[in-house]
């Protein structure tokens, strides 16, 4: 498989969608859906090839043979910058999630966007292309470029197609991610510089930089640069405040990919870069990171409970769920890491579905204020039943992926710190509180109005919801399929960290 | 056999899925056939595996698939069936089926008929997974699934916000216990390296000695889960409110599913509890306390379902008392007989409510003995069993628990005395209910009679409540052998006599009016106590003060995101800086000239500094 083809497909698809806008306002939708479907099909076909044994492991990617595919050409040889993409089990599941939720995002805003649908879909696809690049780039400079590529179109999505306070929210989103991105750039440059001084070779390659020994305060600050960049994106307390605004103001498709995929780039960055590059510093920093994680879990859950805006509630629930991801990553053992990866997938599906519900509600009621809702089960039983499904997935009911994720994180964390696990487990209770109150305020209770003419989900929405429901149940009942893909990667990363940690 | 075993939970599960997806398009009769039929078939499957099992007493194990495997952590989707499981499965599917059959008539008028049966089926399926699971994680899946179904069914009539509140309360209060239990699982896995129940028991016996601190913590955490699901103090407050759901649901929650889960959990992991004597004492004391407090509350309630709800809490308290003194078999036996007579009582109460235009207040009933004869006899038999009158099923099981308490070392006789007081109260409040509802003047006249689909389950449950005491449960291989119980003649006489005394007392107060509590109840102190009991010892107020309101206050305080004030501050500073700088660019030539000259001078000075 040509990895770059996936990215190019989406970039070109976006451009075509933009151009097609003038012919027919519906064309961009079909083009986007087609581009994503094509990319997904191409991707899955290649994976299927792989599992049947035809695809060879790429031996020269590195000494560790967890890489399935690799692509590398020179880009700026003078600075040792390459266009280097690679795919392993971890990237694989994230790419699959990105393409699936990309399709969901297009479908979910099918009849929402009337203003310049072509440019809207172009931005949507370009963001997705940036995300794919982030999940596959193994040259740190290239990684940074993709990091920015996914940011700008997202900014436009919020700023142009957002709701009442779109300008404020878009600016806040941009500033938070841009400033943290700047920190990451500084950290990348410093790391490359240190590598250059140590070996005399200029390189931004992940494999080269992995061996760079960073020690002392300099190493700590570089690590912190990466950490902040990724945890702003995640987001972790106290860098999360852009998220509720951005989520609330973004159009439905924007919220879906923001919550479903973009947040995961932060978690991915922590797993792929921060810990392997800085094992000693990260180990020392783990108590702080875990404290932030626990604070985020509880803080997010309490604030979710306090909201009256449906989308804000879901946004804060994301803050809470991402706390588990940080805990899983910094507990850094197989169980907890698998839990963190599973949380990325399960949260992606369940939250995307809840944001889609929010979009559907707004489309019909022209409000997100839950004080004006209530009793909607009566009018829209299908929407209510699906919302109930994702609400209970979100509160971590066994049988769904979210439970597997949270349980594994707690299990791994318990070995490291029983106290931290006990505190984090409080999140299970508070999640139940906000998820159930959300259902009560919107779909249950008495009818707020009686003369509503509401149309329930049609086949288009129901089939999208069905995809996500089946996905969550599958992750909950047979998660091993994912674990088998990610286990070698996580094992090699953790053994690498353990080796580096053992080094004097 | 393995197929039958898998079908047992699978049938109700499939039926639930079917009804959820297509239910609204199917005719009501078909929904009833699918819903009740799935449980009936499931019950038949239980019978089909019970026969060979009873011949060999060989525990069955079926592995479906490996759930996950990460390092040594490898829980499976697999079932383990021994005598204890078989008893539970029979109760769940047997009593569950009767409740389904009854519901087909009871819910006939409801427009969400299929949604109701979907939830009911899911409830049965989750409970079956809970009891059949061979590892604690799968058990936990069923455990939480049961919690979800109770939420869905208690809040079934969702248009009344009060029902929604009761449903949320049921879920969240039990979730508190569930979280403790989850921590218990984490501890057990971390210490003993497995969650499979049988190997876990072996490992515990190898690694821990009796009284080991970790064993005590682990069992205490599991107990937390059991207290929540089985509605024991301090996590019992959800159960009296849970009657907001349709009455057959109450029968299901109180008899066949849900509240028995905690008792099952402790019985299933009894080897663990045996390693932690302090936890066992706590189990016994909590059980007794709950039995007594709930019995006092039941004395003064006026809502027919609320009386029964408190009686359930009280009876589960007896089961915990039994577990605490190591009478595992007696507790499971009481669980079974209680399932029979409590299902009977709730279904009979449902019939009363059904026939009296949804009347719940017992003081607006009365004289129904002749008007609803089937219901009357059912209720009478149920109440007799609940009061543990001689020869009813409740008598045998409760007597066994009390005898075990009497023989427990140390505080045994005290536990026995407490249990007797509870038995007296139980007999009194059950017959208070019977006498008020079915005797005396007719208050509200019934407008219909229960049809066969309601009468048949009542009749069968009557039979079981009367004769259930003679059913032998096949748990001898599951629990450690107990010494033959020899109690004095007097002890036997007392335990037979106490319930009769309670019934006589109720008769004297409510029928022959020889004794009157009017004066005592009207006195200030009496009123205070009865108010306290009526409000369930004010646990709700206490929790509201301790937890609910502080949580709401904190949430209100944080609602507008205090963290943002920090970023606002940075933004404000940047803005100030911007004002400062933009004021420099004011377009005045004089100002520019001055600043250029000042800058030049500054650079000159700096340059000279550098040169020297």
| pLDDT score of A61 | 46
Of the ranges A120-124, A498-502, B114-118, which one carries the lowest mean pLDDT score? A498-502
A403 shares a domain with A264: no
Cα dist from B467 to A155, B350, B397, B398, B470, whole Å: 73, 23, 12, 15, 6
Q: Do A306 and B172 touch (CB under 8 A)?
A: no
Of A338, A397, A407, the CB nearest to B148: A397
The answer to whether position A59 is within a domain reads no
Grade residue A503 by pLDDT with cuts at 50, 70 and 90. Answer: very low
Provide φ and ψ at B442, rounded to 5°: -75, 125
Q: List A residues 294-353 in contact with B (Cβ-Cβ < 8 A).
A: 299, 302-303, 305-307, 334-335, 338
Q: What is the pLDDT of residue A98?
A: 93
What pLDDT score does B399 carry?
87
Q: How far apart are CA B96 and CA B9, in angstroms?
A: 13
Residues A427 and A399 in one domain: yes
Query: Which residue on chain B is closest to A479 by alpha carbon?
Result: B68
User: What average pLDDT does range A177-193 have in this prediction?
Assistant: 91
Domain count, chain A: 2
Nearest to A480 among B66, B176, B554 (CB): B66
Query: Does residue A53 surpass a pLDDT of 60?
Result: no
Q: Are B273 and B200 in contact (CB under 8 A)?
A: no
Give the Cα separation of A66 and A62 in Å (integer).
9
Distance between CA atoms of residues A299 and B449, nearest Å = 55
Q: Are residues A174 and A265 in the same domain?
A: yes
> Torsions phi, psi of A403, nearest 5?
-65, -45
Interface contact A437-B558, CB threshold 8 A: no
> What's residue B587's pLDDT?
82
Name the phi and psi angles at A113, rounded to 5: -95, 115
pLDDT tens-digit map of A225-258: 999 999 999 888 888 889 999 998 989 988 999 9
Q: Are B474 and B482 contacting, i.e. CB atoms less than 8 angstroms apart?
A: no
Q: What is the β-pairing status of strands A81-88 and B60-66?
A: unpaired
> What is the CB neighbour count within 10 angstroms for residue B74?
15
The answer as to whether A253 is a domain residue is yes
- Determine the pLDDT at residue A504: 35
Q: Under an 8 A CB cutoff, do A436 and B171 touch?
A: yes
Pick from A252, A277, A302: which residue ends a domain?
A: A277
Residues A345 and A397 in one domain: yes
Q: Which of residues 356-385 of A touch B (CB under 8 A)?
A: 375, 377-378, 381, 385
Task: Name which of B148, B168, B567 is nearest A440 (Cβ-Cβ).
Answer: B168
Q: φ and ψ at B232, to 5 degrees? A: -110, 155
Q: Radius of gyration (Cα) for chain B, nearest Å? A: 31
Boundary residue ending a domain (A277, A302, A335): A277
Q: Over 60: is that where the pLDDT of A449 sits?
A: no
Encode burial over A308-326: b for 16+ CB neighbours within 10 A, e otherwise: ebbbbbbbbbbbbbbbbbb
Please, which residues have CB within 8 angstroms of residue B512's CB and are 6 or more apart in sequence? none
Q: Do A338 and B67 touch (CB under 8 A)?
A: no
**Are residues A364 and A437 located together in one domain of the fold?**
yes
Q: Are B401 and B322 in contact (CB under 8 A)?
A: yes
What is the band of A451 on the pLDDT scale with cuts at 50, 70, 90? low
A445 in the same domain as A339: yes
Nearest Cα of chain B lies from the Cα of A397 at a distance, in angstroms, of: 7
A56 lies in a domain?
Answer: no
Q: Is the pLDDT of residue A323 over 90?
A: yes
- Please check whether residue A491 touches B, CB under 8 A: no
What whole-number distance in Å separates Cα of residue B44 and Cα of residue B38? 10
Burial class (CB in 10 A: 0-12, 13-18, 19+), B165: middle
ipTM of the complex: 0.91
Q: Are residues A341 and A245 in the same domain?
A: no
B546: DSSP letter = I
Residues of B in Cβ contact (< 8 Å) with A426 = 179
Nearest Cα residue to A313 out of A366, A231, A261, A390: A390
* pLDDT above 70: residue A56: no
Q: Closest Cα partner for B19 from B80, B107, B78, B131?
A: B107
Q: Output phi, psi for A286, to 5 deg.
A: -50, -45
Q: How far apart are CA B121 and CA B127, in angstroms?
A: 10
Decide if pLDDT at A502 tops 80.
no
Whether A160 is in a domain gets the answer yes
Q: Establish if A267 belongs to a structural domain.
A: yes
**What is the nearest CA distance from B300 to chain A, expressed in angstroms?**
31
Q: At what angle are helices A27-51 and A89-108 packed, to 10 degrees? A: 160
> Does A313 map to a domain?
yes
- CA B334/CA B318 separation, integer angstroms: 8
**A-chain residue closest to B168, CA distance:** A436
**pTM for this entry:** 0.92
Residues of B in contact with A445 (CB under 8 A): 158-159, 161, 164
Q: Which residues pair with A293 in a beta bridge?
A: none
CB A457 within 8 A of CB A360: yes
Question: pLDDT value at position B409?
Answer: 80
Q: Are B375 and B450 in contact (CB under 8 A)?
A: yes
Show which of residues 26-45 on chain A sit within 8 Å of chain B, judged by CB atoms.
none
Give the residue among A242, A108, A254, A96 at the shortest CA–CA distance from A181: A242
More confident: B474 or A415: A415
Do the chains contact at A407 and B137, CB–CB below 8 Å? Answer: yes
> At residue A52, does pLDDT exceed 70?
no
B153 contacts on A by Cβ (under 8 Å) = none
Residue A256 and residue A390 in one domain: no
Cβ–Cβ under 8 Å, residues A36 and A13: yes
Contact A411 B190 (CB under 8 A): yes
Residues A295 and A390 in one domain: yes
What's the domain range around A482? Answer: 287-504
Span between the terminal Cα atoms of chain A, in Å: 41
Which residues are CB-neighbours of A504 under 8 A, at least 6 positions away?
A: none
Same structural domain, A219 and A327: no
Residue A61 lies in a domain: no
> Count of alpha carbons within 13 Å of B143, Cβ hemisphere only?
30
The three-class DSSP label of residue B63 is strand
Asked whether residue A354 falls in the same domain as residue A268, the answer is: no
Can you tell me the distance from the alpha carbon of A105 to that of A113, in angstroms, rounded to the nearest whole number? 12
Structure tokens at B264: 């099952």
Least confident of A214-218, A226-230, A445-449, B510-514: A445-449
Q: Are residues A155 and A266 in the same domain?
A: yes
What's the CA gap between B146 and B440, in Å, rounded? 40
Rounded-to-integer distance, Cα B397 and Cα B87, Å: 15
Contacts of A305 in chain B (CB under 8 A): 551, 555
State yes or no: pLDDT of A59 exceeds 50: no
Two tokens at A247? 């989520």
Residue A331: its chain B contacts at CB < 8 A? none
d(CA A156, CA A166): 10
Interchain CB distance below 8 Å, B155 and A338: no
Kindly report the backbone phi and psi dihedral angles of residue B381, in degrees, each rounded to the nearest multiple of 5, phi listed first.
-65, -45
Number of CB pairs, chain A paired with chain B, less than 8 A apart: 127
Q: How far is the first Cα of chain B from the last one, in angstroms, to the nearest whole number?
A: 101
CB contact under 8 A, A335 and B73: yes
Residue ranges of chain B with pLDDT lower than 50?
A: none
A415: chain B residues, CB-CB within 8 Å? 190
Strands A81-88 vs B76-81: parallel, antiparallel or unpaired: unpaired
Q: Which of A277, A307, A335 is the last residue of a domain?
A: A277
Of the CA atoms within 13 Å of residue A456, those in its CB half-sphere come to 15
Contact B175 A428 (CB under 8 A): yes
Nearest chain B residue to A301 by CA distance is B555
Q: What is the DSSP string of A251-315?
A: -HHHHHHIIIIIHHHHHHHIIIIIHHH-HHHHHHHHHHHHHHHHHHHHHHHHHHHH--BHHHHHH
Q: What is the pLDDT of residue A60?
A: 46
pLDDT digits (tens, 9 = 90+) for A325-344: 999 999 888 899 999 999 99
- Shortest CA distance from B162: residue in chain A: A445
Is the Cβ pair B182, A407 closer than 8 Å? yes
Residue A446 lies in a domain: yes
Band of residue A110 on the pLDDT scale cut at 50, 70, 90: confident
């Amino acid at each position: 498989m040509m990895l770059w083809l996936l990215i190019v497909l989406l970039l070109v698809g976006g451009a075509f969608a933009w151009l097609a806008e003038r012919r027919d306002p519906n064309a961009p939708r079909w083009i986007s859906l087609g581009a994503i479907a094509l990319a997904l099909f191409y991707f899955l076909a290649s994976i299927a090839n792989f599992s049947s044994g035809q695809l060879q492991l790429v031996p020269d990617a590195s000494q560790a043979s967890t890489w399935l595919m690799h692509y590398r050409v020179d880009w700026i040889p003078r600075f040792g910058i390459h266009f280097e993409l690679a795919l392993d089990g971890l990237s694989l599941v994230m790419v699959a999630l990105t393409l699936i939720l990309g399709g969901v995002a297009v479908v979910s805003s099918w009849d929402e966007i009337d203003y310049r649908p072509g440019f809207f879909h172009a931005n949507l696809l370009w963001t997705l292309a940036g995300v794919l690049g982030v999940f596959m780039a193994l040259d740190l400079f290239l990684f940074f470029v993709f990091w920015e590529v996914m940011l700008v179109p997202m900014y436009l999505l919020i700023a142009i197609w957002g709701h009442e306070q779109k300008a404020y929210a878009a600016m806040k989103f941009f500033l938070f991610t841009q400033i943290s991105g700047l920190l990451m750039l500084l950290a990348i440059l410093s790391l490359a510089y240190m590598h250059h001084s140590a070996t005399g070779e200029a390189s931004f390659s992940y494999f080269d930089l992995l061996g760079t020994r960073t020690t002392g305060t300099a190493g700590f600050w570089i690590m912190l640069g990466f950490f902040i960049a990724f945890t702003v994106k995640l987001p972790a307390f106290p860098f999360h405040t852009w998220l509720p605004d951005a989520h609330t103001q973004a159009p439905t498709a924007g919220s879906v990919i923001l919550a479903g995929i973009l947040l995961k780039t932060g978690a991915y960055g922590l797993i792929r870069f921060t810990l392997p590059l800085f094992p000693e510093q990260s180990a020392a920093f783990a108590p702080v990171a875990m404290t932030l994680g626990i604070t985020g879990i509880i803080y997010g859950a309490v604030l979710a409970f306090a909201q009256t805006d449906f989308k804000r509630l879901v946004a804060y629930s994301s803050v809470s769920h991402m706390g588990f991801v940080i805990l899983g990553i910094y507990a850094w053992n197989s169980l907890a890491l698998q839990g963190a990866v599973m949380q990325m997938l399960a949260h992606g599906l369940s939250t995307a579905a809840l944001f889609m519900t929010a979009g559907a509600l707004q489309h019909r009621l022209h409000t997100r204020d839950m004080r004006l809702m209530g009793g909607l089960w009566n009018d829209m039983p299908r929407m209510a039943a699906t919302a109930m499904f994702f609400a209970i997935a979100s509160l971590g009911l066994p049988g769904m992926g979210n439970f597997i994720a949270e349980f594994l994180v707690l299990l791994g964390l318990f070995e490291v710190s029983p106290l931290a696990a006990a505190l984090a487990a409080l999140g299970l209770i508070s999640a139940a509180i906000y998820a159930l109150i959300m259902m009560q305020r919107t779909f249950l209770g008495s009818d707020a109005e009686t003369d509503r003419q509401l149309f329930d989900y049609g086949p288009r929405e129901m089939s999208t919801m069905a995809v996500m429901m089946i996905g969550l149940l599958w992750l909950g009942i047979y998660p091993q399929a994912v674990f088998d893909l990610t286990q070698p990667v996580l094992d090699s990363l953790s053994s690498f960290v353990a080796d580096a940690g053992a080094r004097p | 056999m393995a197929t039958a075993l898998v079908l047992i939970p699978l049938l109700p599960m499939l039926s639930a899925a079917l009804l959820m997806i297509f239910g609204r398009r199917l005719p009501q009769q078909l929904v009833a056939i699918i819903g009740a039929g799935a449980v009936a078939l499931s019950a038949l499957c239980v019978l089909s595996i019970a026969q060979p099992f009873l011949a060999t007493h060989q525990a069955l194990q079926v592995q479906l698939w490996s759930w996950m495997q990460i390092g040594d952590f490898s829980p499976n989707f697999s079932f383990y069936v021994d005598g204890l499981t078989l008893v539970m499965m029979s109760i769940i599917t047997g009593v569950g089926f009767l409740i389904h059959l009854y519901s087909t008539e009871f819910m006939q008028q409801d427009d969400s008929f299929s949604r109701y049966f979907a939830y009911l089926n899911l409830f049965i399926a989750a409970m079956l997974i809970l009891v059949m699971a061979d590892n604690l994680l799968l058990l936990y899946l069923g455990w939480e699934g049961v919690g979800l179904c109770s939420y869905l069914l208690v809040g079934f009539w969702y248009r009344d916000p009060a029902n929604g509140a009761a449903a949320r309360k049921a879920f969240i209060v039990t979730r508190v216990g569930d979280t403790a239990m989850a921590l218990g699982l984490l501890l057990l896995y971390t210490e003993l390296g497995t969650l499979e129940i049988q190997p876990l028991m072996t490992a515990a016996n190898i690694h821990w000695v009796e009284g080991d601190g970790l064993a005590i913590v682990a069992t205490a955490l599991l107990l937390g889960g059991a207290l929540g699901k089985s509605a024991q103090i301090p996590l019992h407050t959800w159960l009296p409110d849970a009657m907001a759901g349709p009455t057959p649901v109450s029968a299901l929650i109180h008899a066949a599913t849900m509240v028995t889960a905690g008792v099952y959990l402790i019985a299933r992991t009894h080897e663990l509890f045996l390693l932690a004597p302090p936890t066992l004492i706590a189990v016994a004391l909590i059980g007794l306390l709950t039995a007594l407090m709930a019995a006092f509350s039941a004395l003064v309630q006026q809502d027919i379902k609320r009386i029964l709800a408190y009686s359930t809490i009280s009876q589960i308290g007896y089961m915990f008392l039994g577990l605490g003194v190591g009478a595992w078999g007696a507790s499971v036996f009481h669980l079974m007989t209680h399932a029979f007579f409590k299902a009977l009582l709730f279904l009979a109460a449902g019939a009363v409510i059904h026939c009296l235009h949804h009347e719940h207040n017992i003081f607006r009933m009365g004289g129904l003995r002749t008007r609803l004869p089937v219901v009357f006899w059912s209720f009478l038999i149920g109440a007799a069993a609940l009061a543990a009158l001689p020869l009813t099923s409740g008598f045998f099981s409760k007597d066994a628990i009390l005898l075990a308490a009497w023989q427990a070392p140390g505080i045994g006789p005290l536990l026995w005395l407490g249990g007797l007081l509870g038995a007296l109260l139980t007999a009194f409040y059950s017959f208070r209910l019977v006498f008020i509802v079915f005797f005396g003047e007719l208050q509200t006249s019934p407008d219909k009679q229960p049809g066969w689909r309601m009468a048949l389950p009542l009749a069968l449950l009557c039979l079981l409540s009367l004769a259930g005491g003679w059913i032998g449960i096949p748990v001898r291989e599951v629990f450690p052998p107990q010494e033959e119980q020899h109690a004095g003649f007097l002890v036997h006489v007392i335990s037979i006599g106490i319930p009769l005394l309670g019934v006589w007392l109720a008769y004297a107060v409510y029928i022959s009016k020889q004794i009157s509590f009017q004066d005592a109840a009207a006195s200030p102190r009496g009123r205070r106590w009865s108010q306290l009991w009526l409000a369930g010892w004010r646990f709700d107020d206490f929790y509201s003060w301790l937890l609910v309101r502080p949580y709401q206050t904190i949430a209100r305080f944080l609602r507008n995101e205090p963290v943002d004030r920090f970023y606002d501050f940075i933004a404000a500073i940047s803005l100030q800086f911007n004002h400062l700088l933009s004021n420099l660019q004011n377009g005045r030539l004089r100002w520019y000239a001055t600043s250029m000259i000042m800058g030049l001078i500054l650079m000159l000075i700096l340059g000279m500094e550098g040169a020297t």
